[in-house]
Amino acid sequence: MKRNLYDLTREELEKYFEEIGEKKFKALQVYEWLYQKREVNIDNFSNIKKEIRDRLKEDFTTNFIKIEKKEEAELVKKYLFRLHDDNFIEAVIMYHDYGNSICVSSQVGCNMGCRFCESGRQKKIRNLEAYEMVEQILKVEEDLNIRISSVVIMGIGEPLDNFDNIVRFIKIINDGKGIQIGARHITLSTCGLVPKIYELANIGIQINLAISLHASNDELRSKLMPVNKVYSIGVLKQAISDYLQVTSRRVTIEYVMLNNVNDRVSNALELAKLFKGMNIYVNLIPYNETEALEFKRSSKDNIKTFYDTLKKNGINVTIRKEFGGTIKAACGQLRGSMKRK
Ligand code: SAH
């Protein structure tokens, strides 16, 4: 099968041109067509001679993922994409005062099996290729006629379970001649695949790391997130600490607020004790209830008390602003409703 041109880092494209006996600066020209001029038709790469364009067309496609469905609210848009093999994934766009952000998916389904997560119920079908992540951004920018300034890898899938493609994706969007998303504007969220966190610290692009913790002790976390039986809170904490050392980037601890499950004051105290003195901040996420699962969202009062307790105990904490409740913006819900049909 032909490779997709959006799947290559500039380095890989340089190597390709060298292999076919051409100058490697052609990679830069191709990148300018793809990412600056947004030209999808290789025939229109007018500063590249026809012979090479023909060769490019033989070796690559520029096929795009397709918009299947779109749901819109004022400050948030949600896209359901159809992939070439008729699988579906989602992306969500949020408008902030500081710019537009996109939440991209990294896999079709997910194998991590978090009990409260809609995507976790639907087993992983396959990894996304880098181009399928790049194209989520390009397609949305085209459709809404906007530029996206920050990217969170927090949609369907466990990104660190698709490591090589994720790194390629990050390199492509971070490239100074590509979409030019700065490392500080890229955030990867993981359930805690510890060995891959160490690898991520060393890719040379210092992105923000978010850890889905969701529990304040191992017993509770293992019940909610099977991954904790393999990498417990202790080893995860060590990995976070090392990530902070290597990258000097602040790490976010995500904590989804589940009614009567993990939202007691005792949980907040435990959490504060765990991370006291570390350069992290906790993001409390009001749970998005989903039809198929029994978990409920914590009450506003409980969330506020939890927040106050963390604060009083020296932890930086925010409550996630809500965007998508009315449009099924929670991870995997749109894809889930598509599959149920
Ligand atoms: N696998 C990665 C990224 C995808 S999930 C991870 O675990 O971080 C993105 C975030 O959404 C995770 O923190 C996940 O636990 C959380 N999440 C999943 N279902 C949710 C729901 N229904 N409501 C709120 N947050 C949810």
Indicate which CATH number applies to the domain containing 264: 3.20.20.70
Same domain, 47 and 125: no
Last residue of a domain, one of 39, 61, 83: 61
The Cα-based distances of 111 to 27, 87, 138, 162 in angstroms read 36, 16, 27, 11
Q: Compute, in angstroms, the gap from residue 117 CA to the centroid of ligand 1.
A: 6
Overall average pLDDT of the 90-107 stretch? 95
Surface-to-core class of residue 268, CB atoms within 10 Å of its CB (0-12 exposed, 13-18 middle, 19+ buried): buried
Q: Which of the four pLDDT bands, split at 50, 70 and 90, describes residue 338?
A: low
CA 227/CA 27 separation, integer angstroms: 40
Q: Which atom of ligand 1 is nearest the CA belonging to 289?
A: 22
| Bridging pattern class, strands 208-212 and 251-257 | parallel
The Cα-based distances of 48 to 12, 39, 43, 338 in angstroms read 18, 13, 9, 42
H, E, C per residue of 142-175: HHHCCCCCEEEECCCCCHHHHHHHHHHHHHHHHC
The β-bridge partners of 316 are 281
Please indicate whether residue 71 is annotated as part of the active site: no
Residue owning the nearest CA to atom 17 of ligand 1:
117
CA 194/CA 197 separation, integer angstroms: 5
List the catalytic residue out of 90, 118, 129, 135. 90
Q: Are 317 and 310 in contact (CB under 8 A)?
A: yes
Q: Compute, in angstroms, the gap from residue 287 CA to the centroid of ligand 1.
A: 9
Residues with Cβ < 8 Å from 1, sequence gap 6 or more?
none
| Lowest mean pLDDT segment, chosen from 44-48, 79-83, 94-98, 260-264 | 94-98
Q: Are 128 and 159 in contact (CB under 8 A)?
A: no
Structure tokens at 54: 């023909």
CA 182/CA 208 separation, integer angstroms: 11
Which domain covers residue 158, as residue numbers? 66-340
> Which CATH number is 21's domain given?
1.10.150.530
Same domain, 73 and 50: no
Same domain, 173 and 312: yes
Same domain, 174 and 242: yes
Structure tokens at 117: 């997560």
Please indicate whether residue 117 is annotated as part of the active site: no
Same domain, 43 and 145: no
CB atoms closer than 10 angstroms to residue 251 = 20
Same domain, 161 and 310: yes
Task: Kindly tell me if the per-residue pLDDT of 121 is higher than 70.
Answer: yes
Same domain, 9 and 89: no
CA–chain centroid gap for 260, Å, is 28
Q: Are 51 and 297 in contact (CB under 8 A)?
A: no
Q: What pLDDT, in 10s, does the model give residues 234-258?
A: 999 999 999 999 999 889 999 999 9
216 DSSP 8-state letter: S
Q: What pLDDT, in 10s, does the model give residues 78-91?
A: 999 999 999 999 99
Same domain, 177 and 324: yes
Is 325 or 211 the better-scoring residue by pLDDT? 211
Same domain, 283 and 298: yes
Provide the H-helix boundaries in the chain: 10-19, 26-31, 50-59, 118-121, 130-144, 163-174, 194-201, 218-224, 233-247, 265-275, 300-312, 333-340
Same domain, 152 and 174: yes
Question: With b meaning 16 or more CB within 10 Å and e meaning fewer, what string describes 308-341?
Answer: ebbeeeebebebeeebbeebbbbbbbbbbeeeee
Q: Which of 212, 282, 321, 333 has the most ligand 1 atoms within 8 A of CB, as the residue to mutate?
A: 212
Same domain, 151 and 235: yes
Q: Structural domain tally of the chain?
A: 2
Is 250 or 137 the better-scoring residue by pLDDT? 137
Same domain, 143 and 215: yes
Overall average pLDDT of the 115-135 stretch? 92
Q: Are 65 and 82 in contact (CB under 8 A)?
A: yes
